[in-house]
Amino acid sequence: MERPPGYVVAVLAVLLAGGTLARCPRHPSPEVLARVRALPVELDPRRMDARELRQLPGVGTRLARAIVHARDGHRDSQALVWEDVPGIGEARAAAIRAWLAERGLATDPLAGEVTSYPVVMNRDPRATWTALVALLAACGERAHETAAPEVHGAAPVEVDRPATAATSPTKSAASNEVRARKLAVEGGEIAALSAGDDSAPLVLLLHGMRYSAETWRELGTLAALAEGGFHALAIDWPGFGETRAFSADPRPAQLLAQVIAAAGAERALLVGPSMGGGFALELVKTSPERVAGLVAIAPAASESFQLSSGSMPPALILWGEKDEVLPVTRARELADHMPGARVEILPAASHACYLDAPGRFHELLVSFTREVFARGQ
């Protein structure tokens, strides 16, 4: 019987060592245990860690991390409310407030004095170091085996080679991963998140005043569009998210045209909620030829929209039935100035209706995007 390769032995050793150490954890000191037992169940969001925040209604791993980031990085004297956290939305914020009120807690306790509390770790760090050393040793031996010169008279060693683009089964999945980008435009650099094939039809996602490009990642919109076969690009407007403010306020239409060009496209389907929707309307007014289609989500300045020249691109107007920022009646008024525009009212949704009904929003968005680009082919 042949001796198994060294890397197989190393992997088995890692599993054995890890299992042994896991069964013999290092116990915390009696002093630490006494402090932990004295702690009540943590319900105050000012002291919850990301794992504990997941007990709040509608809060998963991503939103929990967003809450921690917003809370711990808040330096403004103005109180931080739930709607200030990217991805929360008004409906989810109302559910969290109700959950806190039921327990007799303040409904917006994201800012204020915070006291630390101990965290007990039951894992022995020796297991991690043992596994890491064994893994590095195995990788080194494996590299030595594959790089060894061919011995005269012996069968040639077949070395694994990376699959080509034509044969790789994971190429599509890899291109659908969200990746960070920087786009050079006049006045500075635009930070962006991108997903999908760069050569596919471009869908440009803007954001509202309280949000950023990260909102579209957390909501799953970038992934949904990439899986639909499109190049999804979400940008941070200058002064928001990861984009620094420019020395002068950019002209929305001019900046959006430059972003589309920097992304390697001649035109794009624009998705614009609230503030971003107002910017998108500017490009539609001045350069409709650069706009393949428009998804306007309760856009700002919608009451003053007038098409200046050219033909109106296909448009989908989305509004929340319970929008308290811009009345839902404006949806029909805007449609009157957009020949052929389709209006969808999302039931029980607020101003950021896409956050309150993400499933229906993605269904409408992907379907409309497919119609627009199929029509343009």
Could you give the 3-state DSSP secondary structure of residue 179? strand
Q: Round to whole Å and give the CA distance between 304 and 314.
A: 19
Report strand pairing: 202-205 vs 188-195.
unpaired
Q: Round to whole Å and give the CA distance between 367 and 316.
A: 11
Catalytic residue, chosen from 194, 274, 287, 302, is 274
Q: How many CB atoms lie within 10 A of CB 362?
A: 18
Q: Known catalytic residue: 274?
A: yes
Instruction: Determine if residue 196 is left, alpha or beta; phi over 0 gives left, psi from -120 to 50 gives alpha, anything else beta.
Output: left
Task: Please name the residues in contact with 38: beta carbons below 8 A apart, sequence gap of 6 or more.
Answer: none
Catalytic residue, chosen from 323, 350, 356, 362, is 323
Task: Note whether 285 and 306 are within 8 A (CB).
Answer: yes
Going by the DSSP 8-state scheme, the letter that residue 149 receives in this structure is: P
User: Would you state the structure tokens that stand for residue 4, as one six-digit string?
Assistant: 């198994």
Q: Round to whole Å and give the CA distance between 261 and 277.
A: 19
Q: How far is CA 226 from CA 236, 265, 362, in A?
A: 19, 16, 12
End-to-end CA distance of the chain: 63
Catalytic residue, chosen from 207, 231, 351, 362, is 351
- Closest of 209, 258, 254 to residue 233, by C-alpha: 258
Active site residues: 274, 323, 351
